[in-house]
Amino acid sequence: MIRYKSFLLFIVLCFWGCEEGLNSSEEKPDPIITFEKNIENIKSAVRQTTDEGYIIAGGRGGKAWLLKLDKYGNEKWQNTYSLGDFGLTRAVIQTNDGGYLYASWEGIVKADSNGVEEWKNSEVGQYPNYEDVIQHSNGNYYAVGGPSGGQAKFVKFSPQGNILTQKYFGTNCEDDIFRSIIETPDEMLIIVGEKAHGEGPHPCSFNFMYYKDFWIVKVKKNGGLIWEKTYGGDYLEQADDIISMESGGYAVIGNQCVHQSNLNSCGWNSKLVVLQINDEGEYLTENIFPGLKFHERLPYYSITTTAFGGLAWTAEHKNKGTWIHKWGPNEDTVSVYIDGIGGFEINNTQDNGFVIGTWMGELIKTNSELFYESLSDDR
């Protein structure tokens, strides 16, 4: 009887151990996928898609171009479209129906989930100069950009690509530009960009590109103004991107050059600025990072949130190439530099990592600590 009980105990322990082993193997998380890939295309706008892959917007042969990758960075399809790709910037989103929308200086074009063109909207005789586009929770699309007649531009499109509303914002001077737009928690819209303020007593300075403020505007769904804020000093501040914070309020990224009328000094005097505001656009705090490489007019930095309540951004360091940085109260501060030009776009991914597109076609997928498998071993 003792041997029988011992044998039963042995069987129970073996079964329990095997079951525990199976459960622990089932709970083991999937490894985080990272990679670096040269897509041989400049100005690479990128977002993760619902299937954990990626959609990249670029240009090829003078035409708008989309590239779809799987989650490992392998190509699934690519296509060009009847819309041209002229301009300094472009944006891409995945739409509610699983397709894609591409926006650039020449207009917008809609593709289905397989990359087949469905429709486009472009203006005859004048570029709309779109810088960013979103799809609102109401199903309509909103594109912003400029300058158009010197002013920033706001356009609302139907899901079929028809213009529903078109409005202009800014001064009578040149070069007011909207750079980025997002939907707010109350289903309104916040837009950031740059607004000319002139040089001293001259409201429309000849060197208008060097006398601007951070510009933040909240509007209703048809473009009606709710509030408008500007931040900056006597010289140059430009806002380029905005992200909603989980804790409330927003973070805005841009650049600053206190050139004191020596315009050439921006080459060594430019700084990256991250401004945080509350829901009403009121100033909360700012972080300033020296070492930014200055590019006149070019939108070459982007910001997103981390999985732990922090912020991550990409830009170009004046000596070290593409610059990726993250920090926050609940995580380590990390900076990574990559041989390349600019940081065109950064977005967070479903596995708490990040995907970054650069000006020269380097596409990078990192983990939450900005680590990735590099193409070279000398990083």
Which CATH number does the domain housing residue 177 bear? 2.130.10.10
73 and 158 in a single domain? The answer is yes
What average pLDDT does the chain have?
89
Residue 133 inside a domain? The answer is yes
DSSP 263: G
Backbone φ/ψ region at 139: left (φ over 0), alpha (ψ -120 to 50), beta: left
When pLDDT is cut at 50, 70 and 90, the band that residue 4 belongs to is: very low
pLDDT (average), residues 316-345: 91
Cβ atoms of residues 357 and 300 within 8 Å? no
**Burial degree of 367 (CB within 10 A; 0-12, 13-18, 19+):** middle
Whether the CB-CB separation of 305 and 347 falls below 8 Å is answered with no
Total tally of structural domains belonging to the chain: 2
Q: Taking 50 as the threshold, does the pLDDT of residue 1 lie above it?
A: no
3-state helix, strand, coil split of the chain in percent (to 5) is: 10, 50, 40
Q: Per-residue pLDDT averaged across 228-238, rounded? A: 94
Structural domain containing residue 325: 37-366
Residue-wise pLDDT tens digits, 147-157: 988 899 999 99
Task: Give me the mean pLDDT over the 7-18 stretch.
Answer: 43
Whether 126 and 206 map to the same domain: the answer is yes
Asked whether residue 118 falls in the same domain as residue 242, the answer is yes
Lowest mean pLDDT of 220-229, 308-317, 339-348, name the range.
339-348
For 191, counting Cβ atoms within 10 Å of its Cβ (0-12 exposed, 13-18 middle, 19+ buried), the class is buried
Q: Is residue 240 part of a domain?
A: yes
Contact assessment for residue 273 and residue 287, using Cβ atoms and an 8 Å cutoff: yes
**124, 128, 129, 133 alpha-carbon torsion, rounded to 10°:** -130
- Whether residues 164 and 305 share a domain: the answer is yes
pLDDT surpassing 60 at residue 26: no
- Does residue 121 form part of some domain? yes
pLDDT at 3 over 50: no
Q: Identify the band that residue 140 occupies on the pLDDT scale cut at 50, 70 and 90.
A: very high
- Kindly state whether residues 98 and 9 are assigned to the same domain: no
pLDDT tens digit string along 265-306?
888 889 999 999 999 999 999 999 999 998 876 667 899 999
How much is the pLDDT for 262?
87
pLDDT at 376: 54
**Same domain? 21 vs 92:** no
26 and 158 part of one domain:
no
Q: Is residue 376 part of a domain?
A: no
* In a shared domain, residues 207 and 225: yes
> 20 and 167: one domain?
no
pLDDT at residue 264, as a whole number = 87
312 class by beta-carbon count within 10 Å (0-12 exposed, 13-18 middle, 19+ buried): buried
Q: Are residues 16 and 66 in the same domain?
A: no
Residue 11 has pLDDT above 60, yes or no: no
Domain for residue 378, yes or no?
no
132 in the same domain as 2:
no
Query: What does the alpha-carbon distance between residue 15 and residue 65 come to, in Å, rounded to a whole number?
Result: 57
**Across 14-32, average pLDDT:** 56
Paired with 101 in beta bridges are 93, 110
pLDDT at 375: 59
pLDDT at residue 14 greater than cutoff 70 = no
Task: Judge whether 373 lies within some domain.
Answer: no
Quick check: 340 pLDDT over 80? Answer: no
The CA distances from residue 264 to 199, 259, 310, in Å, are: 16, 8, 34
Residue 101 lies in a domain: yes
Model pLDDT for residues 35-70, shown as the tens digit of each residue:
999 998 888 899 999 999 999 999 999 999 999 999
Higher pLDDT, 198 or 272: 272
pLDDT digits (tens, 9 = 90+) for 81-111: 999 998 888 999 999 999 999 999 999 999 9
Range picked from 90-104, 125-139, 164-178, 255-269 for highest mean pLDDT: 90-104
Residues 183 and 309 occupy one common structural domain:
yes
62 belongs to a structural domain: yes
Check residues 173 and 254 and name the one with the higher pLDDT. 254
